[in-house]
Amino acid sequence: MGLKDIISTVKEKIENVKDALTGDGAKDKFFASENEFPDEAIAEREFERSKRKLFSVNEWSNMPGITSSFQLYKSSGEIRFTNNPEKGDYILISLPGKLPDNWVKIIEIIDSTDSAEFTVSPSPQPKRTKLNRNEEEEETEHFFTGEATSTFMVKRDGKMIYGYEIGNDEVINNQGEEAAGRKWINTLIAAGGWLGFQKVQWEKLTDYLVHNLELESYKS
**DSSP string of 32-90, one letter each residue:** EEEEE-SSHHHHHHHHHHHHHHHH-GGGGGGSTT---EEEEE-TTS-B--SS---TT-E
Confidence category of residue 5, pLDDT binned at 50, 70, 90: very low
- In order, the DSSP letters of the chain are --HHHHHHHHHHHHHHHHHHHTT---EEEEEEEEEE-SSHHHHHHHHHHHHHHHH-GGGGGGSTT---EEEEE-TTS-B--SS---TT-EEEEEPSSSPPPEEEEEEEEEE-SSEEEEEEEE-PPPGGGSSSTT-------SSB-TT-EEEEEEEEETTEEEEEEEEEEE-BS-SHHHHGGGHHHHHHHHHHIIIIIHHHHHHHHHHHHTTSS--GGG--
Of 197 and 70, the one with more pLDDT: 70
The per-residue pLDDT for range 17-48, each reduced to its tens digit, is: 455 554 455 577 789 999 999 999 999 999 99
Domain boundaries, the chain: 26-218
Q: Where is average pLDDT lowest: 98-102, 123-127, 206-210?
A: 98-102
In terms of Cβ atoms closer than 10 Å to its own Cβ (0-12, 13-18, 19+), residue 9 is exposed
pLDDT tops 80 at residue 118: yes
Q: Which fold has domain 26-218?
A: Alpha-D-Glucose-1,6-Bisphosphate; Chain A, domain 4 (3.30.530)
The per-residue pLDDT for range 152-201, each reduced to its tens digit, is: 999 999 999 999 999 876 667 566 565 566 666 667 666 665 556 677 88
pLDDT tops 70 at residue 93: yes
Most confident of 13-17, 24-28, 53-57, 102-106: 53-57
pLDDT tops 90 at residue 58: yes
pLDDT at 89: 97
